[in-house]
Amino acid sequence: MPEARHLKKALIGYLQPNQMRSVFELAVTAAALVAAWLLMWASLRVGYWLTLMLAVPAAGLLVRLFLIQHDCGHGSFFRHHALNDWVGRALGVLTFTPYDYWKRNHAVHHATSGNLDRRGIGDIETLTVEEYKALPAHRRFLYRLYRNAVVMFAVGGPYMFLIQHRLPFHQMRAGWRPWVSTMVTNAAITVLAAGMIWLVGAKPFLLVHMPIAILAASMGVWLFYVQHQFEGAAWTRAPDWSHQTAALNGSSYYDLPLLLRWFTANIGIHHVHHMNSRIPYYRLPQVLKDHPELKDVGRLTLWQSFRTIRLTLWCEDRKKLVPFRDVRRGR
């Protein structure tokens, strides 16, 4: 395990965004998404099976736009704070994500990731074994339902992006800013959707855009899940918790194939991102190249990532994530 203190200093040299590179990344992704959308619209004349096939790369492009919005939220995509925020707000209309509301929740996630005493905002709900055993039967059932793969990814992703983001959940009493962010985004989504319906018709719009939105939402939740729910992830109580060690011990390096790395904007290099969230995503591969010792920290391949679904509870005695069956067997 590399020493977090030394890495923190070493990463300072990667913080400066390249303005032209950022503009290029944004333009290529947005243009590709527009082209994919139009191609899906045209494919309706051929057969809906083709439209659904094309929805997969289109959803990947929408995920990539969300991750550009994510970098804007960290102030790492452009040099100027205001430019990051306004681009992030505009992208939030496309990703169904109220930017300022999400930005605040995500900042809390970065400040508390891996801290057992500060769970619940911006993360996947994770109970300890003792907390789960102390629940009444109906609450255990609900938690098991929540952690079911079909519910979490096929239902939970679309629910979060399409429904939950329409009101400022978790910030209902945080003043007017979350409400303004959410309501303005909702209004802009309505105007954009109405414009598209006027251009192509209600049925074609829904047939094209709903598969993109649903697939992208599920992909996004999956990415967030495997970044912190994996074998080897570490959670600690507040006295022993520190930001840098939690970043290295509690965030994965999702080592994806090259094409998937492009669609996911290198978010798989998540341990480095949590070490310093001000690094633009296109500089993250260079960090791994310059610091090869990081390639073995929390490494998770695509195939290995599917096995993380069974990890549902944190065992404080064994200091690891365990499946439900371990509790049933009394292990």
* pLDDT computed for residue 282 by the predictor: 96
SS3 47: coil
- For residues 19-48, give the mean pLDDT: 96
- Torsion sign over Cα 218, 219, 220, 224: positive
Domain ranges of the chain: 4-328
Looking at 34-38, 90-94, 181-185, 204-208, which range is the least confident one? 181-185
Q: pLDDT band at residue 172, thresholds of 50, 70 and 90?
A: low
Give the whole-number percent of the chain exceeding pLDDT 70.
Answer: 97
- For residues 39-61, give the mean pLDDT: 96
Tokens 């018709």 belong to which residue?
201
- Radius of gyration (Cα) for the chain, nearest Å? 20
Looking at 6-15, 17-26, 48-57, 146-155, which range is the least confident one? 6-15
Residue type, 178: P
* pLDDT computed for residue 8 by the predictor: 78
Question: What does the DSSP 8-state code read for residue 153?
Answer: I
Q: How do beta strands 127-128 and 313-315 pair? A: parallel
Looking at 87-91, 105-109, 327-331, which range is the least confident one? 327-331
- Which H or E run includes 127? strand 127-128
Looking at 109-123, 129-143, 288-302, which range is the least confident one? 109-123
Six-digit token string for 322: 């365990």
Q: How do beta strands 320-322 and 313-315 pair? A: antiparallel
Q: Which residues pair with 314 in a beta bridge?
A: 128, 321
- Which H or E run includes 65? helix 48-73
Q: Give the Cα separation of 6 and 308 in Å (integer).
A: 30
Question: What does the DSSP 8-state code read for residue 155?
Answer: I
Q: How far is CA 13 from the centre of its chain?
A: 25
As a whole number of Å, the end-to-end CA separation of the chain is 28
Looking at 30-34, 53-57, 131-135, which range is the least confident one? 131-135
pLDDT tens, position by position, 243-270: 888 888 889 999 999 999 999 999 999 9
The overall average pLDDT reported for the chain is 91
Q: pLDDT band at residue 283, thresholds of 50, 70 and 90?
A: very high
* pLDDT computed for residue 196 by the predictor: 95
User: How does 74-96 read in b/e, with b if 16+ C-beta sit within 10 Å?
Assistant: bbbbbeeeeebbebbbebbbbbb
* pLDDT computed for residue 329 by the predictor: 66
Contact 300, 229 (CB under 8 A): no
Q: Give the Cα separation of 14 and 269 in Å (integer).
A: 14
Inform me whether the pLDDT recorded for 3 exceeds 80.
Answer: no
Inform me whether the pLDDT recorded for 123 exceeds 90.
Answer: no
Residue type, 107: A
Q: How far is CA 48 from the centre of its chain?
A: 29
